[in-house]
Amino acid sequence: MAQQADFDKLANLERPHKSMINIMPLQTGSILTDAARRALVEFGDGYSVCDFCQGRLTGIANPPVNKFVGEMLPEFLGCDEATLTYGARDGIFMVFHAMAKPGDVVVVDANRHYSTAVAAERAGLEVVAVPRSDYPEYVVDVEAYAAVVKERKPALIMVTYPDGKYGNVPDAARIGEIAMEAGVPFLINGAYAVGRMPVKMDALHADFLVGSGHKSMASAGPSGVLGMKAKWHDVVLRPSVESKKKEVECLGCTVRGVPLATLMASFPEVRERVNRWDEQVTKAQWFATSMEELGFSLIGEKPHKHDLMDFETPAFYEISQRVRERGYFLYKELKERGIWGIQPGQTKALKVSTFAASQEELGKVLTAFKEIIDKYR
Amino acid sequence: MAQQADFDKLANLERPHKSMINIMPLQTGSILTDAARRALVEFGDGYSVCDFCQGRLTGIANPPVNKFVGEMLPEFLGCDEATLTYGARDGIFMVFHAMAKPGDVVVVDANRHYSTAVAAERAGLEVVAVPRSDYPEYVVDVEAYAAVVKERKPALIMVTYPDGKYGNVPDAARIGEIAMEAGVPFLINGAYAVGRMPVKMDALHADFLVGSGHKSMASAGPSGVLGMKAKWHDVVLRPSVESKKKEVECLGCTVRGVPLATLMASFPEVRERVNRWDEQVTKAQWFATSMEELGFSLIGEKPHKHDLMDFETPAFYEISQRVRERGYFLYKELKERGIWGIQPGQTKALKVSTFAASQEELGKVLTAFKEIIDKYR
């Protein structure tokens, strides 16, 4: 049974590491902008974005949800229409549920996120994966989509762009061509792309593009976006028989609260930052090279094209086998040096994102790694 | 096309009426506590609650999501198990989708929220409504559930407790008895109950109880809770084939962000405030009587048992027919007097909640109504 002390704890929740250098892949793309931090306080109360709702979340004029969803997002995503979701997985389920029926096949890449499989399972779909290359690159064979699609006749084709484990960026435009030739709708999971790098759905020949506010759009969660071609409006955004203002796949309204305010408040900056993506890639490649100089190996594509990276770090694992704290020594050593984002206990391989940290800060991370190796040598 | 001024606007979103007396039914139960306001700032960044996640949202120990979901919520809801959702409608869809198959019938009350019909439509279910009494009380005939259930053999029985339009509180325990006798699982939509009034699922003989963080639990949205009997765990919370840590109907994880932090931070106070529900009912009844003394009529149950109320206000409608601002005069007059929550344009009938305002503040609302009538007489 919960005690009084447990309830007291709830009323005083804290994150002690807020000001640390953050390299956690889940978090680096969703650190709030100053504008979002103001919106957060302003719109904290429940249903705050609904102050002037006339019955339709995406139609609200104050705050200007209507302009954001109706004009800004389609332009940003390179699509005809957009809507709001709770996150990438929820957008994917919306598309799966609307576009396919139980028993249908969806063809995905072998690097897809677990939530893609879960969304397919919820929608009753069979997931067929296109193969990838072996260790250590794990590159998705985009040309292989053609044969799999021909054989399995899927209701939908999907790619994870990039995947969340290795940060591999597949040639989505080529998959889009294959999808067009096969006449199969094509969905891109851009959870780690939209808001970080320039992505235009139309240029990738896609029918759907999902993005994540709390992964890559400097927003509080849960929040996400879904862009689509106009021709799918009547399927995915079909109105309820009950009420013409309410979309069935959205259950009426989705993000009815503060994450929408932060998503909107950060958007002007997010829209600009994707134009500096080449600097992010340069920084990521420099970091990867520096890590390899320390004796670690980058898993995934080389040269790397994204800030998400997975490194094999056998030197840390070796240390973990002979120190009292076992695998936790690394988390502790990094925390003491103001570095946040390595899972407690992790040593064999480290998943890192260089998106939020400056080159100077990443230099401190590299120095920390070197110091730790030297300390335990 | 969106202009620079539109983007600038996004970065400076404001709610000018934050400090006003709030009587908007959607908002009065979700004004943040001070503890939640601190948690909001602390956990604003995306994926902030996932700092120490080991692969399962409801298993996170810091912040203590595991204790909150595993111990505190079940005790609070009077159920065996609980989980997190994006809101009441999402919990309802989870239950519909897990417990019924397309073509099945769900028996609901005639006062159900629109989102119940939309959730049923999304799950492919037929909604059959139990009748209610006529104008002006619109009371759900709970005894009528028995005959409808016998005739239609539903997969699920549901009641809205209370409904969001009239604030009628049906005898859910009696429906629970009927459900038990018929051997049909029973779901309670407690979006306006859980966090406002004492509700124990087991005492109401229910199988499922949904609550809404952003409607009644002093939390930012989107957030909600779902309580259930242990015997439904394997149906509604079944793990994915892909990953045993991830529940299919949750798509893995639901509220992965700040609304969970506010929900938890407010919980100690919410848990206490439901014990003062009788004061809320007394205040609501006093307000209703005072409104009737002003010549307005309460629609819905009398004596009223909830802070949600719907009043016919023909005197305001009559004014709207002869003033330049038409229906907007009332919104404007109230705003000038520091009163928030009447939809712009609304005059014929007013939906009001007395939950957040003190008796003194409600006195000011009554005085304002009287002054406005006198001014335009």
Please give the interface size between A and B, counted as residue pairs whose CB atoms are below 8 Å apart: 282
Q: What is the pLDDT of residues B183-203, one digit of tens each?
A: 999 999 999 999 999 999 999
pLDDT at A96: 98
Mind listing the pLDDT tens digit for each residue in A313-322? Answer: 999 999 999 9
Nearest-neighbour CA in chain B from A245: distance (Å): 11
Residue entry with tokens 């030739």 = A181
> Which one, of A45, A84, A60, A107, lies nearest residue A258 by Cα?
A45
> B322-335: per-residue pLDDT in tens?
999 999 999 999 99
Identify the residue whose tokens are 């080389």.
Answer: A302
Mutate to test the interface with B, among A30, A34, A48 (most CBs of B within 10 A): A48
CA B313, CA B311: separation in Å to the nearest integer?
6
CA of A12 to nearest chain B CA: how many angstroms apart?
Answer: 7
Question: Chain A contact for B48, CB < 8 A?
Answer: yes
pLDDT for the residue numbered B242? 86
User: Closest partner residue to A39 among B13, B18, B264, by Cβ?
Assistant: B13
CA Rg value for chain A: 22
Cα distance from B18 to chain A (closest Cα, Å)? 8
Residue B143 has pLDDT above 90, yes or no: yes
Query: What are the backbone dihedrals phi and psi of residue A257, each rounded to the nearest 5 degrees, phi first?
Result: 180, -165
Q: How crowded is residue A321: how many other Cβ atoms within 10 Å of its Cβ?
A: 9
- C-alpha to C-alpha distance for A225 and A250, rounded to whole angstroms: 12
pLDDT in tens, A88-141: 999 999 999 999 999 999 999 999 999 999 999 999 999 999 999 999 999 999
Q: Please report which helix (H) or strand (E) contains residue A350, including its range.
A: strand A349-353
Report CB contact under 8 Å: A251, B89.
yes
Q: Mark yes or no for CB contact B35/A122 under 8 Å.
A: no
Please tell me which residue of chain B has the smallest CA distance to A32: B45
Contact B47 A213 (CB under 8 A): no
The DSSP letter of residue B167 is -
* Domain B275-376 belongs in CATH node 3.40.50.880: no
The answer on pLDDT for B204 being more than 90 is yes
Residue B260: what pLDDT? 98
Partner-chain residue, chosen from B93, B213, B258, that has the shortest CB–CB distance to A220: B258
Query: From the list B97, B246, B267, which residue is nearest A10 (CB)?
Result: B267
Token look-up 């094509």 returns A186
- CATH classification code of A18-29+275-375: 3.90.1150.10
Whether A370 contacts chain B with CB within 8 A: no
Is some CB atom of chain A closer than 8 A to the CB atom of B97? yes
pLDDT at B269 over 90: yes
Interface of B with A in 215-274 (CB under 8 A): 215, 218-223, 240-243, 246, 248-249, 251-252, 254-259, 261-262, 264-265, 267-269, 271
Output the six-digit token pair for A111.
């690097």
User: Which residue reads 């306001």 in tokens?
Assistant: B37
Q: Measured between CA atoms, how close is A219 to chain B, in angstroms?
A: 6
B15 touches A: beta carbon within 8 Å: yes
Q: Which one of B35, B41, B86 has the shortest CB-CB distance to A40? A: B41
Q: What is the mean pLDDT of residues A175-186?
A: 98
Q: Which residue of B45, B71, B265 is in closest CB contact with A2?
A: B71
A18 touches chain B (CB under 8 A): yes
pLDDT (mean) for B355-363? 98
Chain B interface, mutation test: which of A118, A254, A343, most B Cβ atoms within 10 Å?
A118
> In A286-299, which positions are buried (b, 16+ CB within 10 angstroms) versus exposed (e)?
ebbebbeeeebebb
Domain B34-273: CATH class, spelled out: alpha beta
Cβ of A68 and B10 within 8 Å?
yes
Q: Which of B45, B54, B216, B241 to mutate to test the interface with A (most CBs of A within 10 A)?
A: B45
**Looking up tokens 């010549």, which residue turns up?**
B295
Predicted pLDDT of residue B267: 98
Which residues make up the CATH 3.40.640.10 domain(s) of chain B? 34-273
From the list A67, A221, A243, the residue facing B256 with the nearest CB is A221
> Nearest residue of B to residue A30 by CA position?
B46
Contact flag A267-B7 (C-beta cutoff 8 Å): yes
Is a pLDDT exceeding 90 seen at residue A16?
no
- Read out DSSP for B331-371? HHHHHHTTEE-SPTT--SEEEEE-SSS-HHHHHHHHHHHHH
* Banded pLDDT at B19 (limits 50, 70, 90): confident
Chain A contact present for B5, CB below 8 A: no
How many CA atoms lie less than 13 Å away from B101 in the CB half-sphere?
2
Q: What ipTM is given for this predicted complex?
A: 0.97
Is the pLDDT reported for residue B68 higher than 90?
A: yes
How is residue B298 written in tokens? 């309460």
Stretch 196-215 of chain B: residues touching chain A, C-beta under 8 Å = 213-215
Task: Assess contact for B189 and B270: CB atoms under 8 A.
Answer: no
pLDDT-derived band at A17 (thresholds 50, 70, 90) equals confident
Collect all residues of chain A within an 8 Å Cβ-Cβ radius of residue B128. none
Counting residues of chain A whose pLDDT is more than 70, the rounded percentage is: 100
In chain B, residues 100-129 whose CB comes closer than 8 Å to chain A: 114-115, 117-119, 121-122
Model pLDDT, residue A197: 98
Mean of pLDDT values over A139-149: 98
Q: State the pLDDT at residue A146.
A: 98
pLDDT of residue A152: 98
* Interchain CB distance below 8 Å, B14 and A214: no
Q: Give yes or no for A87 touching B (CB within 8 A).
A: yes
Mean per-residue pLDDT, B32-61: 96
The chain A residue lying nearest B17, using CA atoms, is A51
Percent of chain A with pLDDT over 90: 97
Let me know if A165 is exposed, middle or buried by CB neighbors in 10 A (0-12, 13-18, 19+). buried
Q: Which of B114, B118, B238 to mutate to test the interface with A (most CBs of A within 10 A)?
A: B118
Instruction: Give residue-wise pLDDT tens across range A233-245.
Output: 999 999 999 889 9
* Listed residue (B164, B159, B165, B161) closest to B185, CA to CA: B159
The answer to whether the Cβ–Cβ distance between B256 and A45 falls below 8 Å is no
Of B46, B52, B93, the CB nearest to A213: B46
pLDDT score at B235:
98
Nearest CA in chain B to A52: B343
Confidence grade of residue B31 (pLDDT, cut at 50, 70, 90):
very high
Taking all residues of chain B, what is their mean pLDDT, rounded to a whole number?
97
Shortest CA distance from B344: residue in chain A: A52
Tell me whether residues B251 and A93 touch, CB distance under 8 A. Answer: yes
Are B13 and A254 inside 8 Å of each other by CB?
no
Q: Which tokens go with A280? A: 């992010």
Give me the residue from B14, B221, B264 closest to A257, CB to CB: B221
The C-alpha atoms of residue B202 and residue B22 are separated, in whole angstroms, by 33
Distances (CA, A) of A126 to A100, A104, A121, A154, B319: 10, 6, 7, 9, 61
User: What is the residue type of B210?
Assistant: V
> Rounded to two decimals, what is the model's pTM?
0.98
Residue range A278-333, pLDDT digits in tens: 999 999 999 999 999 999 999 999 999 999 999 999 999 999 999 999 999 999 99
Within chain A, all domains assigned CATH 3.90.1150.10 are found at 18-29+275-375
Query: A12, B38: Cβ pair inside 8 Å?
Result: yes
**CATH 3.90.1150.10 segments of chain B:** 275-376
Report yes or no: A141 at the B interface, CB cutoff 8 Å.
Answer: no
